[in-house]
């Protein structure tokens, strides 16, 4: 049994245990499995990560909706999901001899544009979300969405800096779901576990892509 299969089994086992502990047996467990497998397979450059990413978008949209995080819910379903499809198609065209994607790097111009776009987008979306009745944590919600959207686009374009973007977004996601856990919101414990899982996988992904970039 190769390393990837072993890690996949461990991820599924870990997700089931978390589901049992949090008593979120079905929806939460499915979200955790899809979310972590999406990030893991992306970290090793496998195209089928997008299949799990698409499933994660649909499931997390539902959980975000029932928690009053309408920004995450809307973007997950109508922006992130289509981007998973686009990413899958894009990566199919950019495989190397090992059936893994070729990695690209930022320029200074790229960095300035990304940082500026994230700040502006977060402010504008946050102002919009404050107008929605019962919206919770509007500016944290908007920042999480814009930064995550940036990470997905960079991933689709095969920029290694997507992992740095997602690590920054992890701190926002953790804040959102810790607050929701404190308020005992539905499925919040499992979503917090998903965020922690993503943090660990994103660190792993960054290390793997840096190694791959040096080897190319």
How many structural domains are present in the chain?
1
pLDDT digits (tens, 9 = 90+) for 11-55: 899 889 888 877 877 888 898 899 889 888 888 888 889 999 999
**pLDDT range class, residue 191, cuts 50, 70, 90:** confident
DSSP assigned state of 44: T
| Closest to 22 (Cα-Cα) out of 176, 190, 191 | 190
Checking if the pLDDT of 82 tops 70, the result is yes
pLDDT digits (tens, 9 = 90+) for 100-147: 666 777 777 777 888 888 889 989 988 988 888 877 778 888 888 888
Is 0.85 surpassed by the pTM of this model?
no
Task: Count the neighbouring beta carbons within 10 Å of the beta carbon of residue 79.
Answer: 14
Q: Residue 53: which domain range?
A: 3-93+102-215
CA distance 42 to 166: 12
């Amino acid at each position: 049994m190769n390393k990837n299969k072993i890690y996949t089994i461990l991820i599924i086992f870990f997700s089931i245990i978390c589901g049992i502990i949090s008593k979120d047996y079905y929806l939460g467990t499915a979200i955790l499995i899809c979310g972590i497998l999406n990030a893991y397979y992306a970290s090793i450059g496998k195209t089928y990560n997008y299949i799990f990413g698409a499933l994660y978008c649909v499931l997390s949209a539902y959980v975000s909706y029932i928690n009053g995080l309408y920004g995450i819910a809307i973007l997950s379903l109508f922006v992130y999901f289509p981007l998973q499809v686009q990413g899958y198609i894009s990566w199919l065209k950019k495989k190397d001899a090992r059936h893994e994607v070729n990695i690209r790097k930022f320029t200074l111009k790229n960095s300035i544009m990304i940082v500026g776009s994230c700040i502006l987008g977060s402010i504008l979306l946050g102002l919009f979300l404050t107008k929605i009745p019962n919206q919770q944590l509007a500016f944290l919600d908007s920042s999480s969405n814009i930064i995550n959207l940036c990470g997905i686009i960079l991933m689709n374009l095969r920029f290694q800096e997507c992992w740095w973007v997602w690590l920054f977004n992890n701190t926002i996601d953790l804040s959102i779901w810790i607050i929701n856990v404190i308020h005992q919101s539905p499925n919040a414990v499992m979503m917090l576990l998903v965020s922690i899982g993503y943090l660990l996988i994103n660190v792993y992904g960054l290390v793997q892509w840096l190694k791959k970039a040096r080897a190319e």
